Structure 1
Amino acid sequence: MRPTPGLAIATLAGTLAYLAIAIAGWGGIAPFFAHPARVALTLVLFALSIAALFSGGNISSGMREDRGNRWVLAVFGVLGLLAAYLPPFTDRIGFWTLDGDTMRWTGVALFAGGGVLRLWPVFVLGRRFSGLVAIQPGHTLVTTGIYGVIRHPSYLGFLVSSLGWVLAFRSGVGVVLTLLMVPVLVARIRAEEALLRDQFGDEYASYCDRTWRMLPGIY
Structure 2
Amino acid sequence: MGLKLGVFTVVSVVAYLGLAVLGWGGLHPFFSHPALVALTVVLFGLTAASFFTAGNLSPGEKEDRGNRWVLWAFGLIGVLLGWLPAYTDRTEFLTIDGDLARWAGVALFAAGGTLRLWPVFVLGRRFSGLVAIQPGHELVTTGIYRVIRHPSYLGLILSTLGWVLAFRSGVGAALTAIMMIPIVARIRSEERLLGDQFGAVYQAYRDRTWRLIPGVY
The TM-score normalised by the length of structure 1 is: 0.96
Indicate the residue corresponding to 1:103 in structure 2: 101
Shift of 1:47: 0.4
Indicate the residue corresponding to 1:124 in structure 2: 122
Work out whether residues 25 and 88 of structure 1, in 8 Å CA contact, stay in contact via their aligned partners in 2.
Answer: yes
Shift of 1:13: 3.5
Match among 31, 34, 40 for residue 33 of structure 1: 31
Match among 188, 192, 205 for residue 186 of structure 2: 188
Shift of 1:183: 1.8
Structure 1 unaligned runs (5+)?
none
Moved over 6 A (4+): none
Quote the Cα distance in structure 2 between the aligned partners of 1:137 and 1:203. 18
CA 1:145/1:11 → structure 2, altered by over 3 Å: closer, same or farther? same
Work out whether residues 150 and 211 of structure 1, in 8 Å CA contact, stay in contact via their aligned partners in 2.
Answer: yes
Shift of 1:117: 0.2
Shift of 1:7: 5.8
Quote the Cα distance in structure 2 between the aligned partners of 1:152 and 1:127. 17
Indicate the residue corresponding to 1:136 in structure 2: 134
- One-letter amino acid matched to 2:54: G
Quote the Cα distance in structure 2 between the aligned partners of 1:67 and 1:7. 18
Quote the Cα distance in structure 2 between the aligned partners of 1:97 and 1:153. 29
Shift of 1:5: 7.0
Answering whether residue 112 of structure 2 is matched by residue 114 of structure 1, we say: yes
CA 1:7/1:179 → structure 2, altered by over 3 Å: closer, same or farther? closer
Quote the Cα distance in structure 1 between the aligned partners of 2:164 and 2:213. 21
Quote the Cα distance in structure 2 between the aligned partners of 1:153 and 1:90. 30
Indicate the residue corresponding to 1:62 in structure 2: 60
Where 2:215 maps in the other structure, the secondary structure is coil
Answering whether residue 82 of structure 2 is matched by residue 84 of structure 1, we say: yes
CA RMSD after TM alignment: 1.3
Work out whether residues 7 and 53 of structure 1, in 8 Å CA contact, stay in contact via their aligned partners in 2.
Answer: no
Structure 2 unaligned runs (5+)?
none
Answering whether residue 197 of structure 2 is matched by residue 206 of structure 1, we say: no
Shift of 1:6: 7.0
Quote the Cα distance in structure 2 between the aligned partners of 1:16 and 1:204. 38
Quote the Cα distance in structure 1 between the aligned partners of 2:201 and 2:8. 37
Answering whether residue 169 of structure 2 is matched by residue 174 of structure 1, we say: no
Work out whether residues 2 and 56 of structure 2, in 8 Å CA contact, stay in contact via their aligned partners in 1.
Answer: no
The number of equivalent residue pairs is 217
How big is each residue's C-alpha offset from its partner over 1:96-128, in whole Å with a ceiling of 9 and x where there is no partner? 001210100111011000000000000000100
Match among 163, 182, 191 for residue 165 of structure 1: 163
Work out whether residues 5 and 57 of structure 2, in 8 Å CA contact, stay in contact via their aligned partners in 1.
Answer: no
Shift of 1:188: 0.6
